[in-house]
Amino acid sequence: MRPAAPIIAGESLRIVRGGAFILDVPYLEVREGEVLSLIGPNGSGKTSLLLTLAHLATPFEGVVFFAGRRVGADCPVLEYRRALAMAFQEPLLFDTSVSENVASGLRIRGLKRSVISDRVAEYLDLFGISHLRNRSARSLSGGEAQRTNLARAFATKPRAIFLDEPFASLDPGSREPLIDDIQRVLEKTKTTTLLVTHDLMEALRLSDRIAVMGRGRIHQIDTPDEVMNRPVDETVAAFVSAGTVLAGLVIEKRRDTFVVAVNSEEIESAGAFGVGESVGLYIRPENVTLSIGLNAVGQKRVTGARNVFPATIVRIMPLGFYEKVLLDCGFPLVSYVTHQSRKALELREGQRVSASFEATAIHVIARGRREPPEPSSC
């Protein structure tokens, strides 16, 4: 299937301040009907890129295209902005009722009174705030205000909507239901969306594609599955919490796998790396299995199918629906277990266990080449 055509595209986008690059993006496209999330740590350039694509960041270098037309040339900037809607972290509401706030963008666009009335009712209902229609915006809670803000933006039925950290200031009790509703609204309306967030879980729930940013640049842009399981570099792996990140040296090449020396241990991975290559191994916690038994008390084996190591539990930390287990296998390793699994295995800090993971569960990134150490002559 061919990818959808871009509704918005940016070329050679740059912002330089004080001689330093704030933004340096050679090319980015937002496809018709998709949800594209920009994620990364604070200061990575996410909001700068969003504002540049919205033609609100000044000054900037580069070109923005809307539906194939160059913004500011054959597509007037005002026409482009009217085709967009934006919602920010802090709702900017008028000092009037909820329904009047939702109607404001429609009135600016000169829609008929009957159309405005129907549209307001529709989006109040979609965002679950019909019962607040006559409430003053000043009396709303944070979650209610953001629902009003989003209803106002979506009610204009924009060609694309830009959302800048819309859930960041909300408490969990307000955030989770709102994310559920946004997901439902996006599925219903198919609105092209550019979402800025530092929260990986938000991006995973809502996105068709994710762009990981760092220091003003896009390091990787791909589907959530690709970004999570096959990060292109250490910057991406660190942000998506790849779990265990190990540096090692390839010491043996086999038919479909290769063996990497990590500290004093050997890990076998699927792939075609050659002897002498320096690699980074990325092992996600959900792919590490813990058990108790013979291998937990000192034996180790490496097979073509999986790696099994005796390990000591260093620490156990609650992590929502799971528990995060930090292990010492001669190298650090992280595993996620359910609360039920922890109870069943009677896991505790200081306990000896067996940690295993498939050779195919390791994502490998080349880091260069150096010669393996000579075998000892002793």
| Total of domains in the chain | 2
Radius of gyration, alpha carbons of the chain: 25
pLDDT digit string, tens, across residues 78-87: 999 999 999 9
User: What is the rounded average pLDDT of the residues 268-296?
Assistant: 87
User: What is the rounded average pLDDT of the residues 368-374?
Assistant: 54
Q: Give the pairing type, strands 35-39 and 209-214.
A: parallel
Final residue in a domain of this structure, among 182, 211, 239: 239
Neighbours of 69 (CB within 10 A): 14
Judged by average pLDDT, the poorest of 209-218, 230-239, 264-273 is: 230-239
Final residue in a domain of this structure, among 239, 261, 290: 239
Tell whether 133 is covered by a domain.
yes
For residues 232 and 297, state if they share a domain: no
Indicate whether 302 pLDDT > 50.
no
pLDDT digit string, tens, across residues 176-212: 999 999 999 999 999 999 999 999 999 999 999 999 9
Burial class (CB in 10 A: 0-12, 13-18, 19+), 340: exposed
* Start-to-end C-alpha separation, the chain: 60
Burial class (CB in 10 A: 0-12, 13-18, 19+), 173: exposed
For residues 69 and 197, state if they share a domain: yes
Nearest to 203, CA basis, from 163, 232, 231: 163
Whole-Å CA distances, 252 to 228, 258, 378: 28, 6, 21
